[in-house]
Amino acid sequence: MTTLIGGDWGTSNLRLFRFDAGGAVLETREAARGVLAVTDGGFEAELATLLGDWLDSGRARILLSGMIGSRQGWREAPYVACPADAAAIALQSLAVASALGEIRILPGVQVERGDGCLDVMRGEETQIFGVTMRDGGAQLVVTPGTHSKWVRVKGGRIVDFATYMTGELYALLKTHSILGRLIEGDAHDDAAFAAGVQRALDEPALSKLLFSARSEGLFGRIAPTALSAYLSGLLVGAEVQAALRDGSAGRVTVIATPQLARNYLAALALAGIDDVEVMDGAQASAAGLWQLATAIPWAM
């Protein structure tokens, strides 16, 4: 019996899914063994350890996505250019010789945007195909986080996308900047978050808005315990404002944990977008891995 195993192998984590013949996830395993944690190219050994008894039933088809296909990963799988559909991505997957089974590493996707900037993703494209499998129409998909991606999907293809450094900027500013000195804790505060979002929707100059997290704190107009939510609101609001600027949002799918999704739902509502679907990240990865696996010409 040939089993399909899918893996989302990112910078910090490795998450594996074992599928049944119909694409349902039978079991999930996860470890904090991201690409940066694996030294001396020990990717095969790492994978064997986590797979364990999943291999007892024989050789498996193993499909991996994410940073495992980057220069720092197992093998570099060159980016596929936009517009990119599942077939193009599946075709550019790299076969890697292994005793564990038939392993293929998925490529990332690149775009040269209208603003002249290059942009890249690795792993998110797989989640995107987990969404489009459910909804073939035009839509925006956002994967919030350290580097939020806003992805425009149409006719089953990734046509355009942009990365926002929202999560990384939030952490940097809170930990290392003058703004952090006034911030107490990181409790969520709906009103402060909404105030930050609204300001960013009204005023696109982020490097100016950010300083207001200091001045509003200095004057006690925002409490120290609410400043981190305000800062988060400024950054998420700036992202939503820019991503929706061309006015053609359609449905927006948010791939995130419930807390993060809640923030984005609130920000999108303030921007007038109510047609929003939320999807869990692991669920999107699994669905996308299955979808892409069906497009791969497996040898065995």
Cα dihedral across residues 271, 169, 118, 288: positive or negative: negative
Binding to a second copy by residue 86, rule CB under 8 A? no
Binding mask 133-172 for a second copy (x = CB under 8 A): --------------x--------------xxxxx-xx--x
Type of residue numbered 91: L
Part of the chain binding a second copy (CB under 8 A), chosen from 128-136, 197-205, 265-273, 278-286: 197-205
Q: Measured between alpha carbons, how far is 55 from 142 in angstroms, rounded to an integer?
A: 34
Beta bridge partners of 153: 139, 158
Part of the chain binding a second copy (CB under 8 A), chosen from 81-89, 186-194, 241-249, 264-272: 241-249
CB of 239 to a second copy, least distance (A): 6
Binding mask 201-220 for a second copy (x = CB under 8 A): -xxxxxxxxxxx--xx-xx-
**Half-sphere exposure of residue 216: CA atoms within 13 angstroms, side-chain side:** 23
CB of 17 to a second copy, least distance (A): 27
Between 61 and 199, whose beta carbon lies closer to a second copy?
Answer: 199
DSSP structure class, residue 129:
H
Between 134 and 221, whose beta carbon lies closer to a second copy?
Answer: 221
Part of the chain binding a second copy (CB under 8 A), chosen from 25-33, 99-107, 128-136, 236-244: 236-244
Q: Measured between alpha carbons, how far is 8 from 35 in angstroms, rounded to an integer?
A: 11
Phi, psi of 228 (to 5 degrees): -70, -35
Look-up: residue for tokens 């899914």?
A: 17
Distances from the Cα of 228 to the Cα of 172, 196, 232, 265, angstroms: 12, 10, 6, 18
- Contact, 92 vs 107, CB < 8 A? yes
Binding to a second copy by residue 98, rule CB under 8 A? no
Binding site for a second copy (CB under 8 A): 110, 115-120, 147, 162-166, 168-169, 172-173, 175-178, 199, 202-212, 215-216, 218-219, 221, 235, 238-239, 241-242, 245
